[in-house]
Amino acid sequence: MPEYADAPPPVLIVGGGIGGLAAALAFSRKGIASLVLEQSAEFGEIGAGIQLGPNVFRMFERLGITEQASATAVFVKHLIMMDSLSGDEVTRVPLDDAFRERFQYPYAVIHRADLHGALFAACQESDLIRLETSRSVSGFEETGDGISVRTEDGATFAGGALIGADGLWSTVRSRMFDEGPPITSGHIAYRAVLPIDEVPEDMRWDAATLWAGPRTHLVHYPLRNWKLFNLVAVFHSDKNVEKPGVVNAAALSSDHKFLTSSSSMILLRKASGSRKTRGYCSAAVFSSNVPRSAQYMGRSTGWTFHISSASSMAILNFDPRSISSPRTDAAVPSSESHISP
């Protein structure tokens, strides 16, 4: 456990993405030490573009990274909304001097990796921020004078407070609130970042543009000093709308299988030897009669299941991140608890 002699324990921040680094930097500007625990082997950001409104630049100013972030951002001249059916322009917002005068700050677009890089560089320069990689948090507990965080490699870190900035599949949040996994809304986004030379010249608009249509929209704008071009296509699919206790069978890989009966359905994921509880697997149970404590040992090597719950629907570490290629041979039970196609 790291020691901080003659100083208050640091704020522990789980996750070294944009949110986690921004939090660490904000604390440092107030003279508060922090420790950032990132599960990956190195700090980095994936994804595509992100739009920066005036309120973001206000925060950049407070964090002291306006110059760094602006160096790779594109300050587009307009926000444009187009009708995707007729091709007509619906409205246009000039991002000119009048806009800056009204909102006090500009509007720009930037690649997520560039924004993350600016935050990371600023964090590295601060003596109040400690950055740790390959630290996957497995749990935490409150102590008499703070909080203690455990990582999967057996390390323990003491802090005065804990911030979960570990994304959609947050370990911190899942242990604080029993909400279950995120539910798919049915909105599907396809993202692409193209070299600007691959974009037709007549489509290289100096704008952040939205093409809006019925349950669909397309967004595009330039990135990284006009070296790249960002595309995001979004549509809604009723087949991908999930409800609590429903799993999309079409998205399951061969590492999953089902055990069904007249009263219940159990989804099992093939066990991974890398887990601390060797041989156990991610599982979701949908049943009208789940006992308080149940255990199942599959006939096939590597399949195991254990759960303890008083509720009629129990979930044990069901992690959709493990889902890979589509599977078409998944069985669909005929009971009330079902898998939606």
pLDDT surpassing 60 at residue 319: no
Tell whether 202 and 256 lie within a shared domain. Answer: no
C-alpha 181/C-alpha 320 separation (Å) is: 8
Beta-carbon contacts of 209 under 8 Å, excluding residues fewer than 6 positions away, are: 79, 80, 81, 82, 219, 220, 221
Query: Span 15-23, mean pLDDT?
Result: 95
Secondary structure (3-state) at 186: coil
pLDDT surpassing 50 at residue 48: yes
Q: Which two tokens stand for residue 16?
A: 């070294």
Select the more confidently predicted residue: 74 or 302: 74
Query: Is 298 within the bounds of a domain?
Result: yes
Tell whether 115 and 199 lie within a shared domain. Answer: no
pLDDT tens figures, 83-122: 999 999 999 999 999 999 999 999 999 999 999 999 999 9
Are the beta carbons of 182 and 33 closer than 8 angstroms?
no
Give residue 269's pLDDT band: very low, low, confident or very high (50, 70, 90): very low
Tell whether 145 and 69 lie within a shared domain. Answer: yes
- Largest Cα–Cα separation, the chain: 71
Angle at 283 between CA 326 and CA 322, to 5 degrees: 40
pTM: 0.68
Select the more confidently predicted residue: 258 or 141: 141
Tell whether 199 and 288 lie within a shared domain. Answer: no
Query: Is 312 within the bounds of a domain?
Result: yes
Query: Is 255 within the bounds of a domain?
Result: yes
Query: Is 142 within the bounds of a domain?
Result: yes
Secondary structure (3-state) at 260: strand
The strands making up 161-164's β-sheet, listed across from edge to edge, are 129-132, 34-37, 11-14, 161-164
pLDDT tens figures, 24-36: 999 999 999 999 9
Q: Which two tokens stand for residue 326?
A: 């589509």
Are the beta carbons of 35 and 10 closer than 8 angstroms?
yes
pLDDT at 242: 64
Tell whether 224 and 146 lie within a shared domain. Answer: no
Tell whether 116 and 197 lie within a shared domain. Answer: no
- Decide which of 176, 200, 228 is a domain's last residue: 176
Tell whether 270 and 216 lie within a shared domain. Answer: no
Q: Is the dihedral of CA 129, 130, 134, 137 positive or negative?
A: negative
pLDDT tens figures, 159-212: 999 999 988 888 888 888 877 777 788 888 899 999 999 999 999 999 999 999
pLDDT at 259: 37
Tell whether 233 and 301 lie within a shared domain. Answer: no
Q: What range defines the domain where residue 215 resides?
A: 187-239
Contacts of range 267-270, beta carbons closer than 8 Å, 24 or more positions apart: 267/318, 267/339, 268/298, 268/303, 268/304, 268/305, 269/318, 269/319, 269/322, 270/302, 270/303
pLDDT tens figures, 192-203: 999 999 999 999
Query: Span 33-53, mean pLDDT?
Result: 92
Parallel, antiparallel, or unpaired: how do β-strands 78-83 and 49-52 relate?
Answer: unpaired
Give residue 315's pLDDT band: very low, low, confident or very high (50, 70, 90): very low
User: Tokens 């009966």 correspond to what residue?
Assistant: 261
Query: Span 131-155, mean pLDDT?
Result: 92
pLDDT at 145: 86
Query: Span 318-333, mean pLDDT?
Result: 33
Rounded mean pLDDT of the chain?
75
Give residue 5's pLDDT band: very low, low, confident or very high (50, 70, 90): low
Q: What is the CATH number of the domain that holds 54?
A: 3.50.50.60
What is the total count of domains within the chain? 3
